[in-house]
A and B are shown apart, each in its own frame.
Chain A
Amino acid sequence: MIHSLFLVNASGDIFLEKHWKSVVSRSVCDYFFEAVERATEPENVPPVIPTPHHCLINVLRQRVYFVAVIQSEVPPLFVIEFLHRVVDTFQDYFGVCTEAAVKDNVVVVYELLEEMLDNGFPLATESNILKELIKPPTILRTVVNTITGSTNVGEQLPTGQLSVVPWRRTGVKYTNNEAYFDVVEEIDAIIDKSGSTITAEIQGVIDACVKLTGMPDLTLSFMNPRLLDDVSFHPCVRFKRWEAERILSFVPPDGNFRLLSYHVSSQNLVAIPVYVKHNISFREGSSQGRFELTLGPKQTMGKAVESVLVSSQLPRGVLNANLSPSQGTYTFDPVTKLLSWDVGKINPQKLPSLKGSMSLQTGASKPDENPTINLQFKIQQLAVSGLKVNRLDMYGEKYKPFKGIKYMTKAGKFQVRT
């Protein structure tokens, strides 16, 4: 399975290596560097790179490449999924998974990697189990440890390893018992030149933060479960119950976790909450181009559209842009030709706009492609699909927990073609 792991930063240095079988020389990464060089952008590096004796499978997260060395047949998704799980674990432990964070916590990272894989096969990837084996570093604990000489490493086999509910540790205690659920929906859409929707779909997740004492058994029911077309669950959710009654019944893991991700059936028309009016044109022979962009709310159910961010990759021929926004700030990077406009909140009375001119290379002919506009926004208190949680019940424990639910709609991959 996974032979070795190399962590490579953006400038092409290997800053960590770990081997689970015999040592593989780091020169194997030369093939990877070649591929990086060939790729125009970091994202374009192919995830699977064959070399004469090994195969390199890499994952790019936060400008760090995780390069796994494979020697024999293994499902590539297995490795990719595992690498992402490693990154998630690091994020869980250190808050971020950057080069600096890994370098600062190299011992914990090594201990984690040691526990997560045995002989290249995943051993413990559940964060609850890992946290019992290796306690996450906190400032307080570091201080205590240096004084008392105690360690970060657990001495007992985590209870989760053997239990029927491996995701939950036993003996959890809280003074405030609370369970929060965030329903977050993302709209993926492609809008064409004329403003009509080419494709739009809603993907949603329910992220939970559960801090409950003991072994609570929760059920969550929806007002309109039919909306959920395709779902994937955290292993804690009882699938049979969902199949039969459309109720989520589960013993939750302790802390933050993703309970469910879903896809809203494509039969439902997706309400597009924002419209974009644009006029981006280049005239033949002139070295100027016109740029006009206006945003407006549409089908927002009375909720405000916030944190709007517009970005667009302008054609290579554009030298500079001279624009004036009616609100917010914009930046244009003349090297990458990336225009981004931080709009903020959309006021329906006074629509935000960005107008001005672009200067082109003199003598060059007009670019024959038009840029696409990528949009990001957030709408609080709204699940755009109309999904509503009906109720949340707890069984198995006596206390009354505090329950909370929050809805939010975000733009996923929201593109407007011009």
Chain B
Amino acid sequence: MLNHCFLCRNEDLKEMLESNKESLKLEAMKRIVGLIAKGKNASELFPAVVKNVASKNIELKKLVYVYLVRYAEEQQDLALLSISTFQRALKDPNQLIRASALRVLSSIRVPIIVPIMMLAIKEAATDLSPYVRKTAAHAIQKLYSLDPDQKEHLIEVIEKLLKDKSTLVAGSVVMAFEEVCPDRIDLIHKNYRKLCNLLVDVEEWGQVVIIHMLTRYARTQFVSPWREDAVFDENSEKTFYDSEEERRVDQSKPYIMDPDHRLLLRNTKPLLQSRNTAVVMAVSQLYWHLSPKHELSVITKSLVRLLRSHREVQYIVLQNIATMSIQRKGMFEPFMKSFYVRSTDATHIKTLKLEILTNLANEANISTILRELQTYVKSQDKAFVAATIQAIGRCATNISEVTDTCLNGLVLLLSNRDETVVAESVVVIKKLLQTQPSQHSDIIKHMAKLFDNITVPMARASILWLMGEYCEHVPKIAPDVLRKMAKTFTSEEDIVKLQTVNLAAKLYLSNSKQTKLLTQYILNLGKYDQNYDIRDRTRFIRQLIVPNEKSGALSRYARRILMAPKPAPVLQSAFKDRDRFQLGTLSHTLNSQSNGYLELSDWPAVAPDQSVRIVEVVEPVKEAGAPLLGKSKPGKSAEKFYSDSEEEEEGSSSEDSSSSSSEESESESESEENSDDSNKSSSSESDSEKKKKTLKNKKLQQQKPDSKDRYWSHSVQSHLFFLNKFLVVFKFNLRCIALLLIIITKLFSIHIVLSFSNQFVASCRCSLLRLCVFLACQFDAVSWHVRVSLQASFPVFVPETSHELLHRMTGKGLSAQYRFTRQPCIYGNSMVSLQLTLSNSSDQALENIHISEKSSTGQNIHHFNAIGELHTWTCGSVLFSFSTKEDEFSVSIQPAVGELLVPITMTEADFTKEQGLSVWLTNDRLGTGNRFKNSHLLKYLKRLICHAFLLCYWSMPFLSENF
């Protein structure tokens, strides 16, 4: 009948859905959604509903989507009817419609459409709208759970999306990564720094996921900061990289934190101020698992703050604090009062607070804690009182000074009216007495007196055990208790019976005269007990203590077996073993490994190659440079300087992003001007394209064959690899371009390093009028980008042009000009050759012209990376008769962009590939969503790359005095 009625109603709905009126349809859909919400089955309306999937009314359409997602799994064939609508919607100009179409399409769990979904995801992953890309990231997980065989393809999409710069996408794609391929940690390397820097701007839910992922990542990539002898001053940051090589040689070297490790800690710290409790917890666990111990204290306040939040939040936070407080009492001790229990707290909150208070107890604060615990004992919540008594017991065992006080307090509780309180006290006293039984025979006597009134089995059993164990201390009372037990034996609980048997056995051995008959009586009762445990025990005890012909050697040892001194039980926290789980996880809360839990690995003994995270550098270049350097000067490795500068930049970029809007707009306009410049230059370049091509080809032939092989004749993939990397780098640097430009226009200095070898300096006597010096220099990647915008109008391919470096007026007679020779540099492929022409227009000879090495000392690195390096010339003081001080001239070189590129040859096919890439480059995925106007710059870059057949190549910055 009821069923019939329901069907009638469905007929009614069907009619409404098939009518022509939108409003009726909508009304019907609303009712259907109401049915779904109540959990009623509305699946038979599927055909009628699915017809409306292409409705113009957006609310109706959305409700149809809701229905479809709910029932498509059950009605797979009919669901397929709707697919074409979604495919059409995926091409809609409205991004919201594209996104929701993808959402629904991927939520329909119909295995047949897997290929369609895959296609849609791939397309959406390159969509212009970050919102659609975010939806694509979500769809990845859905497709993966529908068809795990797609994993490989999905990983490709994830890899692509991980490179996305939009904060909207970051959280979702990391979520997909965690779900689909959490073990592919290598995908993170290149994006690590980007994720760290974006983190603050990501939406809060994404932050949680990213932080958890980065915690895991950091545990595999950095060495432990928890070394005993660790040195922790902030200054050590300056010398980071020194350690890298030496650490392998000498383990006792003080620990110095990897800058990337530091970056993570620094960028997550502000998030402790988040309003989202999950974010605060995530950061706290990150600090707990990753930070040096002395930095851990920053999380304490924030965690305590969370205790003001909802009951459920409190519960989770307290659990985590409980685990932390076992290992590190000091962290929470100043906040002890925040863990005082209020009568309005829920029971599970109370017990957790108690747990923490107990963990925090030490000699200094125990009296305060005990006073607090005393008030808890009077609480109305009996379960809580029982927990309090346990806590007092733990305090008593942990801190020997108060053991007696606690014991006396507990004995007082024995006269409490509430049975659970008494019982719990007995159990705790029993444990305490075990540690020092001799002095406390009066307590045992007292408990024997209470025995008649206590009915809680556990407490009775405890008293019996005490009697048996210490029967020597109470020789008169124990047999009497046994007598009473013999009377009531049959009506006792099993646990009490077992202890009675034990007591009987022990008394039989120590005082057989008085108790022989009683024991035999009890053993006989036990023999016919219903519980086999007790029958078993009885049989065993009888064989053990009553000597007869059958019992072997064992009975001779009966006394030693039964009366052996027993180690006192250790009262410890229930949270002791929870630290095997990562804090803040579900597994930690449940104290059992849940599905999909990803274990936090131990710190590696030796840090894996940290260069994998460097995005700016084309890798093979570095490989070439490193060994050369390593031989000559192990102390200063290339990475050192490099990453340091990088660090600095990141700092500035983040500052920049948070600086006030007025400043930003100013800098933006400036960069626009510059990019206009670059546009002009690029047009001039394309004019001279042909000329350039031939030139480049020639150059290439001159190049050493081995280097050519190594770097430029790789497969297309490697080109792609380089180019990709270049783009990533470039994107990154755009962030800080606004700030850098301001500085440069003011100071007009440059980040380059000129280096001479010492020998060379010696031979460079300037008695001649003119001198040509060939230099090898390296250009910092950072300054290079700046140059792109400033100096792009130089006719880059005319090698004859030389530029003034030092005017004779400023140089006090010495003038210098420089020119790019475009010869392959003999000192390494990471460098660019430079011809310096020095002339002396004064009438005195200048001697000992050399390049000051001041710029390359460790001291200056930090400084000049921030504002641009000052390269200096020094004229020796000896021959400068007119000057007593040494003269130093600061000069700057502004290389044109083309000078930093290395020509290559390519097949036609390769070129088209590259062109394809550059089309990809113009796609706004690079530029959308960020605040920097870089499209001009990018356009310029693109032309530069594809027209000139160049694969970009520039040197990594590094310093050395060895040239």
Chain B residues within 8 Å of A57, by CB: 312
Chain A residues within 8 Å of B301, by CB: 229-230, 263
User: How many angstroms between the C-alpha atoms of A22 and B660 in the bound complex?
Assistant: 47
Contact (Cβ within 8 A) B70 A23: yes
* Contacts A84-B310, A119-B142, A369-B379 given; does A73 touch B597 at CB 8 Å: yes
Chain A residues within 8 Å of B659, by CB: 240
Contact (Cβ within 8 A) B34 A106: yes
User: How many angstroms between the C-alpha atoms of A47 and B309 in the bound complex?
Assistant: 14
Contact (Cβ within 8 A) A365 B417: yes
From B103, B109, B311, B346, contact of A22 by CB (8 A): B109
| CB-CB nearest in chain B for A365 | B417
User: How many angstroms between the C-alpha atoms of A152 and B94 in the bound complex?
Assistant: 18
Contact (Cβ within 8 A) A81 B103: no
From B131, B281, B342, B658, contact of A161 by CB (8 A): B131
Chain A residues within 8 Å of B931, by CB: 164
Contact (Cβ within 8 A) A153 B596: no
* Contacts A70-B586, A75-B278 given; does A198 touch B337 at CB 8 Å: yes
Contact (Cβ within 8 A) B277 A77: yes
| CB-CB nearest in chain A for B421 | A368
Contact (Cβ within 8 A) B37 A110: yes
Q: Which chain B residues in 10-57 approach chain A with CB under 8 Å? A: 22-23, 26, 30, 33-34, 36-39, 57
Number of inter-chain CB pairs below 8 Å = 245
Contact (Cβ within 8 A) B337 A119: no
Contact (Cβ within 8 A) A72 B595: yes
Contact (Cβ within 8 A) A44 B347: yes
Contact (Cβ within 8 A) B380 A369: yes
Q: Which chain B residues in 115-173 approach chain A with CB under 8 Å? A: 129-131, 134-135, 138-139, 141-142, 145, 168, 172
Interface string of A1-38 (1 = CB under 8 A from B): 10000000000001111110111001000000000000
From A77, A146, A161, A369, contact of B168 by CB (8 A): A161
B598 contacts chain A at the CB level, 8 A cutoff: yes
B308 contacts chain A at the CB level, 8 A cutoff: yes
Contact (Cβ within 8 A) B131 A43: no
From B63, B275, B348, B661, contact of A235 by CB (8 A): B275
Contact (Cβ within 8 A) A230 B305: yes
Q: Which chain A residues in 299-333 approach chain B with CB under 8 Å? A: 313, 315-316
Interface string of A177-193 (1 = CB under 8 A from B): 00000000000101010
Chain A residues within 8 Å of B832, by CB: none
B107 contacts chain A at the CB level, 8 A cutoff: yes
B203 contacts chain A at the CB level, 8 A cutoff: yes
Chain B residues within 8 Å of A48, by CB: 315-316, 586, 589-590
User: How many angstroms between the C-alpha atoms of A40 and B381 in the bound complex?
Assistant: 10
Q: Which chain B residues in 88-104 approach chain A with CB under 8 Å? A: 94-96, 99, 103
Counting contact residues on chain B (CB < 8 A from A), the size range is 35 or more
User: How many angstroms between the C-alpha atoms of A107 and B135 in the bound complex?
Assistant: 23
Stretch at the interface among B204-212, B910-918, B950-958: B204-212
User: How many angstroms between the C-alpha atoms of A172 and B81 in the bound complex?
Assistant: 42
User: How many angstroms between the C-alpha atoms of A370 and B376 in the bound complex?
Assistant: 11
A59 contacts chain B at the CB level, 8 A cutoff: yes
Nearest-Cβ distance from residue B159 to partner chain A, whole angstroms: 20
| CB-CB nearest in chain B for A369 | B378
Nearest-Cβ distance from residue B309 to partner chain A, whole angstroms: 8
Contact (Cβ within 8 A) A155 B58: yes
Chain B residues within 8 Å of A152, by CB: 59
Interface string of A332-375 (1 = CB under 8 A from B): 00000000000000000000000000000000010011111010
User: How many angstroms between the C-alpha atoms of A43 and B135 in the bound complex?
Assistant: 37
* Contacts A48-B589, A151-B58 given; does A17 touch B37 at CB 8 Å: yes
User: How many angstroms between the C-alpha atoms of A114 and B308 in the bound complex?
Assistant: 30
From A119, A203, A372, contact of B141 by CB (8 A): A119
* Contacts A70-B586, A118-B138 given; does A44 touch B346 at CB 8 Å: yes
From B310, B317, B344, contact of A59 by CB (8 A): B310
From A44, A157, A369, contact of B96 by CB (8 A): A157
B445 contacts chain A at the CB level, 8 A cutoff: no
Main secondary structure of the interface of A (DSSP, over half): mixed
A46 contacts chain B at the CB level, 8 A cutoff: yes
Chain A residues within 8 Å of B142, by CB: 119
Contact (Cβ within 8 A) A43 B346: yes
Interface string of A230-273 (1 = CB under 8 A from B): 11111100111101000001000000001001010000000000
Interface string of A156-171 (1 = CB under 8 A from B): 1100011010100000
From B22, B172, B305, contact of A121 by CB (8 A): B172
Interface string of B285-305 (1 = CB under 8 A from A): 000000000000000011011
Chain B residues within 8 Å of A59, by CB: 310, 312
Contact (Cβ within 8 A) B346 A41: yes
User: How many angstroms between the C-alpha atoms of A70 and B595 in the bound complex?
Assistant: 10
B416 contacts chain A at the CB level, 8 A cutoff: yes
Interface string of A99-112 (1 = CB under 8 A from B): 00000001101110
From B203, B342, B584, contact of A75 by CB (8 A): B584
Q: Which chain A residues in 115-132 approach chain B with CB under 8 Å? A: 118-119, 121-123, 125
Chain B residues within 8 Å of A369, by CB: 378-380
Contact (Cβ within 8 A) B595 A73: yes
B489 contacts chain A at the CB level, 8 A cutoff: no
Interface string of A41-64 (1 = CB under 8 A from B): 101101110100001011110000
Q: Which chain B residues in 249-287 approach chain A with CB under 8 Å? A: 270, 273-278, 280-282
From B57, B134, B311, B929, contact of A47 by CB (8 A): B311
A385 contacts chain B at the CB level, 8 A cutoff: no
B791 contacts chain A at the CB level, 8 A cutoff: no
From A16, A46, A261, contact of B348 by CB (8 A): A46
* Contacts A240-B655, A263-B305, A370-B378 given; does A75 touch B59 at CB 8 Å: no
Contact (Cβ within 8 A) A78 B131: no
| CB-CB nearest in chain B for A125 | B205
Chain A residues within 8 Å of B660, by CB: 249
Interface string of B309-346 (1 = CB under 8 A from A): 01111011100000000000000000001101011101
Contact (Cβ within 8 A) A119 B138: yes
From A40, A60, A77, contact of B281 by CB (8 A): A77
Contact (Cβ within 8 A) B340 A50: no
Nearest-Cβ distance from residue B323 to partner chain A, whole angstroms: 14
Chain B residues within 8 Å of A286, by CB: none
Contact (Cβ within 8 A) B594 A151: no
A380 contacts chain B at the CB level, 8 A cutoff: no
Chain A residues within 8 Å of B208, by CB: 75, 78
User: How many angstroms between the C-alpha atoms of A201 and B307 in the bound complex?
Assistant: 13
**27 interchain pairs, CB-CB under 8 A:** A18-B37, A44-B347, A46-B315, A47-B311, A76-B316, A78-B208, A84-B313, A106-B33, A107-B33, A110-B36, A111-B63, A122-B205, A151-B26, A151-B59, A155-B58, A157-B99, A188-B308, A229-B301, A230-B301, A239-B270, A240-B655, A365-B417, A368-B417, A369-B378, A369-B379, A371-B380, A415-B343
The 3 A-B pairs of least Cβ separation, nearest first, read A72-B596, A151-B59, A199-B337
Known: A81-B276, A240-B655. 13 other contacts (CB 8 A): A18-B37, A26-B39, A55-B590, A73-B596, A77-B277, A84-B313, A110-B66, A154-B58, A157-B131, A164-B201, A230-B302, A232-B274, A233-B275
Which B positions have Cβ atoms within 8 angstroms of A? 22-23, 26, 30, 33-34, 36-39, 57-60, 62-63, 65-66, 70, 73, 94-96, 99, 103, 106-107, 109, 129-131, 134-135, 138-139, 141-142, 145, 168, 172, 175, 200-201, 203-205, 208, 212, 270, 273-278, 280-282, 301-302, 304-305, 308, 310-313, 315-317, 337-338, 340, 342-344, 346-348, 372, 375, 378-380, 416-418, 584-587, 589-590, 592, 594-598, 655, 658-661, 929, 931
Which A positions have Cβ atoms within 8 angstroms of B? 1, 14-19, 21-23, 26, 40-41, 43-44, 46-48, 50, 55, 57-60, 70-78, 80-82, 84, 106-107, 109-111, 114, 118-119, 121-123, 125, 146, 149, 151-157, 161-162, 164, 166, 188, 190, 192, 198-199, 201, 203, 217, 229-235, 238-241, 243, 249, 258, 261, 263, 313, 315-316, 365, 368-372, 374, 396, 413, 415, 417
